[in-house]
A and B are shown apart, each in its own frame.
Chain A
Amino acid sequence: MLKFFDKLRSLFNKKEPEKPALDNIVTAPLSDAQLQSIKALSAHRYEPMQLIATSAQSVGRQRELNEDSLFCLSTTIAGNTSNPPFGLYIIADGMGGHQYGEIASNTAIRVIAGYVLKKFHDSLFSLTGTPVEESLQEILQAATSEAQKAVLHEAPGSGTTVTAALIVGQQLTIAHVGDSRAYLIYNDQRMEAITRDHSLVRRLEELGQITAAEAAVHPQRNVLYRALGQGETLESDITTTPFPVGGYLLICTDGLWGVVSDNELRRILNEGPTMQRACQNMIAAANAAGGPDNISAVLVQLLG
């Protein structure tokens, strides 16, 4: 019966604060071990739930021009009315060998960010909190199409990769064209690329013509078969996946992932000391390995 009432209470009443059943115990200073465990527990809770992000970029050691662009925005609105954490992170790698690669990548991130933020403006900044009508996937699809048009207009003949991550609450929606990558690094140290390169070598690999090892040294490994600003229509990959709790999202250009191995990136992230520093260290590692290309990275964590 008691159990039944407990159940009822949990169902239909506000939870009562739990009373410590320690009435007879004399207060004693906590041991170090106890303090540590309490610290560890409280360290895992963050109110309100929020996104933190950091970015790093370098021209590298062999190029004169930086054709990469990146965009980072994290929003927290908490109070009487609140919104789920909202974040938008974009990486674009303007295509080498084309004119105005840097214009293409810059146009892409600005147009996409502008389009998405306009769509979310009322939801985020009006007091009525008007809901967004289109789906997150539809918005990102439309944003990349807008960017495609803009790049064709602003920098005809050029091209750029785009990997855009829109986070609302714990849902991560990615729009992806080209060979920049998005990785999820889980709490248990697993690291998983959640985008698929639209590159010639990756295609050959998928068709079983060459191995990953061969792809890594293939002379045409930088050739893309799909990019923003190229071709009539744009088919971007759009997916939605849950953001791993306590894990990270890493978005980067091939100047990073093509030079520094996944294991090395994970090691750098673990050795911190802060995620901001870790992100800078990743870029430094790419430069230390020769820095053959422009290097850009965005690192995001969801606290909650």
Chain B
Amino acid sequence: METKHIDGSVGIEKRTTTGQLASGTNLGNRYVVQEVIGVGGMGSVYRARDLHFPNVVKLVAVKEMINQAPDPLVRQTIVQNFEREANILATLSHPSIPRIYDYFTLENRSYLVLEFINGKDLETVLAQSEGFLPEEQVLAWGIELCDVIAFLHGHKPDPIIFRDMKPSNVMINQHNHIILVDFGIAKSFQVGQKGTMIGTEGYSPPEQYRGEANTQADIYALGATMHHLLTRRDPRLEAPFSFAERPVRKINPNVSIEIEAVINTALQYNASDRFKRIEDFKSALMSAGKKTGMLQHVAPVAPVIQAGGIKPIWTFQCEDEIRGSSMVYNGAVYTGCYDNNLYALNAATGEFIWKYAAEGGIVSRPAAYEDIVYFGSEDHRVHAVSARSGKVAWMYYTDDRVRSSPRVAEGHLFIGSDDKFLHAINLTTGRRAWTFDTGAEIRGTPFVINDLVFFGNEAGDFFALNFHGQIKWRYKAKRNITSSPWVQDNVAYFNSMDGYMYALDARTGFLLWRFRMDKPSIVSPIVNDGIIFTGSADGYIYAVEAKSAKEIWRYKTEHQVNGSPVIYRDALYCGSVDGNLYCLEYRTGRLRWKFATKGPITAAPLAYDDIIYVGSHDHYIYALLA
């Protein structure tokens, strides 16, 4: 504090020059800073481009908070608080709340990546306007603000108190709708703030200065905000709690008596004299507006949840059910079908390139390597065909139907068969390198990592083999393991028909934990961000914390979930036997949209270059925008 007083200007200059990121800075190898769009006490806000969208310019707002606490424990707590707030914010879905895309901490700076709002805040709107803002406009904004605050106050388990309603925290977007922008997430980064004094002087009610803030604090602050907008009189330049001394119409006689009365009620000194609930504030504004006829001009905006309306980019009809997943290779999407054909389609347009007929249904996902596409069929064979022409390179014969998907690793193809063997096939010659007898059908896709091959079979055995085809360890589940394993951070995850998801130590096969689902599962778990995503015949899509096996969320579909989910950016995509492809926010399990097909979806969707490919039992392959 002392040094600041001695040479305040230098201190501030230093902060702005060294504190802000130059345009072109690449944050977290993903967000390229374009320009500073705001400066606050805790850091700056930037407009940035998200490089994860290479083909379009996707803009995001990046809020930077500088952690100035010297004590590492305090610093850690600040970061934890920030992350907790970010997590709460990420669960909020409302048209007047910016979407949170990401957050991260780099050294002493924490970043929140959120929806970029193309618009101005109300303080700027006021500053750039001459004369009074139209009453009906302020009324319309006020009603929208009531809606979003009601949404926050209705949050479960605990209401969210916004605490900081003021014109500079309200953005008006290009469609003239309001967006609440500052959720006090930066508060914990403020240094030297003792106690719980939160909120801006001028707009906050008296009780907030005693450290009390409940839902009625937001009602007061909204009243103060509307007062400011209608009178152009900044409450921060007036004596605290002095609204009663300058009623709206005394300054702006154009405002109706009705609206002035509503605002007066909101601004009562004693919380008990104000509206009990924000909903009451809203209906008072509505009836005042109706009485004066203002609401005929400005219709309040009902919250819109993105519903339906998802149109495929293209579709392609096959001759039978599609049960297996697609694969993209060099601009083409390859899909096996129960009509015995492997189809090659242009990934961008869905145009037919070629098809290759096996002599049995194809229920698995093809694999590609060096211009050859590999897949198994119920004709007992593994086929290797040219990716360009669909001409056969070689065929490999097993003794029963091949329903397992191939895995390419180290110059070999690893694939299971109903003949109960795991086959290791030389990629170039199509000859057998070795086979391993498991005693039961193998239907899942082997997972290869760290020189080990992991897979399960229909007897409930789970194996880890080395590259010589020798057993490293084996684990026995209670029933069939049809699901394919996922191995990450030395843990192997898979589901079983016994209704459990298993987590085994990949080196030793020791059972670390198991997670109970309500019904058997043939779904393969996938791991992203320390969370395991899977599904089960009980109809749920599950998100489970990897280290604690605790359920984070579950989402109920209308029928069994038999296909694996995929994660693409911040969304999870998963099909269900109910015929829908679901798009959920992966951190919260909140539904973004669903797309209905006319048959069950049992394949895992494929996400590639902003397109989701999924096949359905209705014979169609769909390409949808992610």
Contact = CB atoms under 8 A, between A and B. Distances in A.
**Which 5 A-B residue pairings sit nearest by Cβ, starting from the closest?**
A212-B77, A137-B513, A135-B511, A169-B508, A135-B513
A213 B71 CA distance: 8
Interface stretch (A7-15, A51-59, A96-104, A279-287): A7-15
Nearest to B548: A239
Nearest to B77: A212
Given A11-B468, A212-B77, A84 B510 contact: yes
A216 B73 contact: yes
Given A238-B549, A240-B512, 7 more contacts: A11-B410, A14-B468, A131-B475, A131-B509, A205-B77, A211-B74, A212-B71
B548 A242 contact: no
Contact of B513 (A84, A216, A240, A262): A240
Contact of B490 (A7, A10, A216, A242): A242
Contacts of B188: 208
A144 to B, nearest CB: 14
B553 interface: no
A16 B80 CA distance: 51
A171 interface: yes
B533 to A, nearest CB: 18
A4 interface: yes
A12 to B, nearest CB: 6
A216 B434 CA distance: 63
B490 A138 contact: no
Interface in A221-249: 237-242
A238 B548 contact: yes
Interface of A: 4, 7-8, 10-14, 84, 131-132, 134-138, 168-171, 173, 205-206, 208-209, 211-213, 216, 237-242, 261-263
Interface in B511-552: 511-514, 547-549
A97 to B, nearest CB: 25
B270 interface: no
Dominant secondary structure at the A interface: mixed
B84 A171 contact: no
B72 A262 contact: yes
A30 to B, nearest CB: 32
Given A11-B412, A211-B74, A213-B71, A240 B503 contact: yes
B578 interface: no
Contacts of A241: 547
A238 B77 CA distance: 22
A72 to B, nearest CB: 21
A12 B505 contact: no
B517 to A, nearest CB: 15
B410 A171 contact: no
28 contacts: A7-B410, A7-B411, A11-B468, A12-B434, A12-B467, A12-B468, A84-B507, A84-B508, A131-B475, A131-B509, A132-B510, A135-B512, A136-B510, A137-B512, A138-B513, A168-B510, A170-B505, A170-B507, A171-B505, A171-B512, A206-B80, A212-B71, A212-B73, A212-B77, A237-B548, A240-B513, A241-B547, A262-B72
Contacts of A169: 505, 507-508, 510
Candidate in A173, A211, A242 with the most chain B CB atoms within 10 angstroms: A211
B14 to A, nearest CB: 26
A137 to B, nearest CB: 4
Contact of A212 (B76, B489, B503, B510): B76
B433 interface: yes
B196 A209 contact: yes
Contact of A211 (B77, B490, B508, B514): B77
A56 B84 CA distance: 36
B72 A263 contact: yes
B26 interface: no
A168 B513 contact: no
Contacts of B71: 212-213
A261 B77 CA distance: 15
Interface string B70-108: 011110110011001000000000000000000000000
Contacts of A262: 72-73
A212 to B, nearest CB: 4
B426 to A, nearest CB: 8
Candidate in B74, B80, B503, B512 with the most chain A CB atoms within 10 angstroms: B512
Contacts of A134: 511
B251 to A, nearest CB: 38
Nearest to A49: B507
A285 to B, nearest CB: 17
